[in-house]
Structure 1
């Protein structure tokens, strides 16, 4: 009964209370998770140096590809599971879960093979110079060997949230993140293992997260269940998982391509020093975006469940409240960065040149960050509804359609400043696109009047044929 209540409350509990109960754990978990990346960078910066930070930054796009795969499987599976639970179709929800796990296992094999074959050539392609290549290899080799832990823990976290159990999802992020921070200090400073120590700390923490999640599912605390029969791949379900999760993959993969483009242009026009500076700023960006992403993740199971249950009034209320919250958060981020950029940089390094360069760069990069909230919410909204095409467009918009071309063009005219200028310009254009799409479909989200309610049963089963 308790497990069933976890999902059924998505359709009955007051929206403000429900969104708060789902978003706050997601925000806490994601902030703590981002915090270990921040502390990781701080430890590497102070314990090894800015060149090591540059090496980790160069390798980060490869890690982002791993996270992209996890996000695609997790968010795609979670969206389908939420809607199946809303329809009271628990049998197929379990089949979706089993198929997600099978895909994760198969993809993990590719990661292990990659550690021994294409790691070094890929890092060189990403822009690694002879000076920073050893740091990048030391960091990524152990992580690729542990691909299964990363993909499993990240993907299943989204699935746990899809059934309304945000508290455990939060703990499954917080506990390994705290452990990672402790192990970072032990390995980097206590055992003098450098960048390799940071990688080992991350691998061990993700292995612990995976063990926690397995225990959660086999103990009967979940609405879902692990059954061997459900691991058999079903083409229809795999197609739906991939199509709905594709926008999340593209968004993360575009982030990886974006990082590569930025690193290459910074090395060309500024040198390895600016790659290290950007590596620090990237961590600050992650921390500032996490609260908004947490609201979006708290919103998604509510939207998916009530869409499946045909309750458009609750869907509408959830979307509007989420938009209000992320707007306030994004303005707060803007004000903090504009007022205290040097202080934020000084947390990571005592190097005056790095602090000065980073502070100037941050003010430019965050100039339009107050517009980003609507883009995050709208992308998550269409993912939760199973609207794969629209979610894909929004996921591509900021990083791939706008940011990457700007990063490749502007430095030819403005040097490294052109890289920083690309961010606010891309933020503005992605805001315009997200606003347009929400306005275009305002009847669904503001009035609850839509023809989709009549044809939705077809739409959510075949998201590629969406009328939206």
Structure 2
């Protein structure tokens, strides 16, 4: 039965299959994003607006280390999807075992370094002035749980590669709900402040990992590995890292973006501007959940059918995913253009932030309707195992366009130059991705019988 589940990726109608994959992924991302959103609202209202900025300083560091797990997960899951499509189950098992070993070794090493140099790292990511102390409290506690989060993020992509999107959704929902419950207990009831917020987050990662372990040791999974599969295999490690490097590079660029944005905005507008960016960042995580869900649902379908050489299904999957994602992105755009003031007031009643953040948010989301082409296009190359174009297109928005823009435009337009960098980089990255995607489809997605 489990084997039939993965084989469905190559037989069911594409629209039905994409919805089947994307809806649980979207719900999982929604719940996870709501967790981050509500967590920020709790912190802002129960601790203070400076605490929002403090968490914004810590997130790029902790999420970069955790993103090693996601990178290894997505890189390995691309191999697993194609291996299952080609009926090579031993390679799928070996790949999963190597993913576990790589995730543990790399994240534990980075967490050790992160704790040894905590003060310098916090300050370099914008933890200055009144932001430093709450940021340090949050940072030191959360970092202990980051290896657990990395394992969860890695395993979640593997569950989806097996064709089990509902269980992947549960793995995202369980820690999110538990985190909110513990937030209420530790922050509101027990008045633990930033330490309470940090422990709620860390313990939720442990609960998530417990669920994932249950999934793989039960009869729910077809990937039953043993200790022999944990030994590193160089060809598999090389393929995992080449494909996973795309995801890791994206998160590295995100972390560098936070570094630049927090420092530039602190110099231009102080703690108020950093808090405004933190709120916009939370909305980026939350509001884009349906588009990201379609992207996550697209990956295993495209990878499986590419491995099975069903190129007509790959092309249909690509076109359907872009269409669905573009419609959803447009709906997100409309809501955020109409209600930015109401959204801001959910996070804080600070008058300075409330007067500034809505206009900033509008600029951040100004080009949202076209972002589907960029996200799906970059994901396509990752799904089919082409690491170099996947890497370049993934980095195009933030690495090649956004970071240079925020370093240049503020010299001429001040803080306004920071905010208009968002839509400009979105437009440029989408144009570049559309060009290369169109060229790839015309050249290589040719049915076998042609």
User: TM-score scaled to structure 2, two decimals?
Assistant: 0.97
Query: How far 1:444 sits from its partner (Å)?
Result: 5.5
Q: Which runs of 4+ in 1 moved over 3 A?
A: none
In the other structure, the counterpart of 1:78 is 77
In the other structure, the counterpart of 1:449 is 446
Query: How far 1:147 sits from its partner (Å)?
Result: 2.3
In the other structure, the counterpart of 2:91 is 92
Post-superposition CA distance 1:89-137 (Å, at most 9, x none)? 0001000000000001102321441353012111111121132111111
Tell me if structure 2 keeps the 8 A contact 1:7–1:223.
no
Comparing 316-325 with 353-362, greater Cα deviation is found at 353-362
Q: Distance in 1 between matches of 2:176 and 2:164?
A: 19
Tell me if structure 2 keeps the 8 A contact 1:70–1:152.
yes
Tell me if structure 2 keeps the 8 A contact 1:23–1:298.
yes
In the other structure, the counterpart of 2:378 is 379
Q: Distance in 1 between matches of 2:224 and 2:249?
A: 29
In the other structure, the counterpart of 2:100 is 101
In the other structure, the counterpart of 2:291 is 292
Question: Which 5+ residue runs of structure 2 have no aligned equivalent?
Answer: none
In the other structure, the counterpart of 1:316 is 315
In the other structure, the counterpart of 2:195 is 196
In the other structure, the counterpart of 2:40 is 41
Post-superposition CA distance 1:247-284 (Å, at most 9, x none)? 11111111111111111100111111111111111101
In the other structure, the counterpart of 1:207 is 206
Tell me if structure 2 keeps the 8 A contact 1:67–1:252.
no
Q: Distance in 2 between matches of 1:444 and 1:178?
A: 46
Tell me if structure 1 keeps the 8 A contact 2:280–2:364.
no
Q: Distance in 2 between matches of 1:114 and 1:175?
A: 29
In the other structure, the counterpart of 1:415 is 414
Query: Which runs of structure 2 are paired with 1:62-77 in the superposition (5 Å)?
Result: 62-77=61-76
Tell me if structure 2 keeps the 8 A contact 1:218–1:226.
no
Query: Which runs of structure 2 are paired with 1:55-204 in the superposition (5 Å)?
Result: 55-204=54-203
Query: How far 1:352 sits from its partner (Å)?
Result: 2.9
In the other structure, the counterpart of 2:10 is 11
Q: Distance in 2 between matches of 1:92 and 1:321?
A: 30
Q: Is structure 2 residue 225 aligned with structure 1 residue 226?
A: yes
In the other structure, the counterpart of 1:249 is 248
Q: Distance in 1 between matches of 2:154 and 2:249?
A: 15
In the other structure, the counterpart of 2:265 is 266
Q: Is structure 2 residue 434 aligned with structure 1 residue 435?
A: yes
Q: Is structure 2 residue 305 aligned with structure 1 residue 306?
A: yes
Tell me if structure 1 keeps the 8 A contact 2:65–2:107.
no
Tell me if structure 1 keeps the 8 A contact 2:66–2:146.
no
Question: Which 5+ residue runs of structure 1 have no aligned equivalent?
Answer: 455-468
Q: Distance in 1 between matches of 2:66 and 2:278?
A: 18
In the other structure, the counterpart of 1:325 is 324
Query: How far 1:362 sits from its partner (Å)?
Result: 1.2
Post-superposition CA distance 1:180-213 (Å, at most 9, x none)? 1111111111111112211111111110110111
Tell me if structure 2 keeps the 8 A contact 1:50–1:276.
yes
Q: Is structure 2 residue 293 aligned with structure 1 residue 283?
A: no
Q: Distance in 2 between matches of 1:239 and 1:256?
A: 24
In the other structure, the counterpart of 1:463 is none
Q: Distance in 1 between matches of 2:93 and 2:441?
A: 33
Q: Distance in 1 between matches of 2:344 and 2:143?
A: 30
Q: Distance in 2 between matches of 1:340 and 1:387?
A: 40
Q: Distance in 2 between matches of 1:108 and 1:340?
A: 39
Q: Distance in 2 between matches of 1:11 and 1:289?
A: 28
Post-superposition CA distance 1:221-254 (Å, at most 9, x none)? 1121121000000110000001011111111111
Tell me if structure 2 keeps the 8 A contact 1:11–1:302.
yes
Q: Distance in 2 between matches of 1:110 and 1:39?
A: 31
Q: Distance in 1 between matches of 2:107 and 2:246?
A: 21
Q: Distance in 1 between matches of 2:270 and 2:401?
A: 24
Post-superposition CA distance 1:277-306 (Å, at most 9, x none)? 111111011112221111011011111110
Q: Distance in 2 between matches of 1:317 and 1:294?
A: 18
